[in-house]
Amino acid sequence: MVTTERSRKDETLAYALQQLINGLTLGMIYGLIAIGYTMVYGIIGMINFAHGDVFMVGAFLSLIALAGLAGLGLTAVPIALALTLVFAAAIAALYGWTIERVAYRPLRGSFRLAPLISAIGMSITLENYVQLAQGARVKPLPPIVHGGFTLYEGAGGFAVQLSVMQIVIMITTLLCLAIFTYLVTRTPLGRSMRATEQDRKMAALLGIDTDRTISLTFVIGAALAAVAGLLFLLYYGAIDFFVGFIAGVKAFTAAVLGGIGSLPGAVLGGLLIGLIETFWSAYFSVQYKDVAAFSILAITLIFLPTGLFGRHDVEKV
């Protein structure tokens, strides 16, 4: 009897540990997308609601590139993934540049709702474009990255697994966070971004090319979305034209929860959303996992209106 009780507790602990790993992995993907949201908001004070669909386009570009390389007979997985990453990030960056030129720059001096409506229109355009070009069916991808480690094996036989793909996702997100935090805080481009954020007109008077700075921010955010799209495709093995809307809303929620404008806050918010979703799905009704995530967001913003790491806006006089 004592052995059975111990085995049950052991099994419960192993199951919870596995859900923790799964939640962290999902949260890292959300956090990587959220970095793009928060970078754009930090520069122009607008949410790029087409960002989630750029993530979706990046996933499809990755699928097309992997299929093309396989057709050419390239079987070396690291080389294929490196070429796919470069291809998807480069093309997605062009999408980001186009979105800024078409949906944002012409409306930069108008009332604040105009660019928001334009970005939503761009989001719908990208969704329907991919639906027509690639079809509405789910596109599968066979597993490419194999292997993993057994971290813990419960007495009941349940083993806690950490896959190589999960390790790649976590390392990639943390590496991107470190690189772009350094970019924003320590480089001339980062100083231009921060100056444009604080006062665009004064930055232009001081010789900063604000148009170029804003375009580069969109380009960088889109390239990051493509990286997240490739990781999502490799991890889940299936995508469709609508996946960008769902992931985009979750990543936007993560950016707001962490404090929009803060890069570490974006990743932290992504981790929280991923953990909430995963643990809710594991122990409660999976149909209400989104309700749980957004409820936590609402409760947090009641007590912390700027998010966990957000800063209060200072009115310019």
C-alpha pair distances (Å), 54 with each of 60, 90, 265, 291, 302: 10, 12, 21, 25, 31
141 within 8 A of 66, measured Cβ to Cβ: yes
The predicted model gives 204-224 an average pLDDT of: 90
Q: Which residue, 164, 178, 174, is CA-closest to 270? A: 174
Q: How far apart are CA 59 and CA 56, in angstroms?
A: 5
Confidence of residue 108 (pLDDT cuts 50, 70, 90): confident
Q: What is the pLDDT of residue 154?
A: 66
**pLDDT of the residue at 312:** 59
pLDDT tens by residue, 122-169: 999 999 999 999 988 999 998 888 888 887 776 666 778 899 999 999
The domains of the chain are located at 2-303
Q: Is the pLDDT of residue 226 over 80?
A: yes
Joined together, the tokens standing for residue 244 give 């960008």
Question: Quick check: 53 pLDDT over 90?
Answer: yes
Hey, which bits of the chain come out as E strands?
139-140, 148-153, 159-163, 238-239
Whole-number Å distance between alpha carbons of 43 and 211: 11
Rounded to an integer, what distance in angstroms lies between the CA atom of residue 127 and that of residue 38? Answer: 22
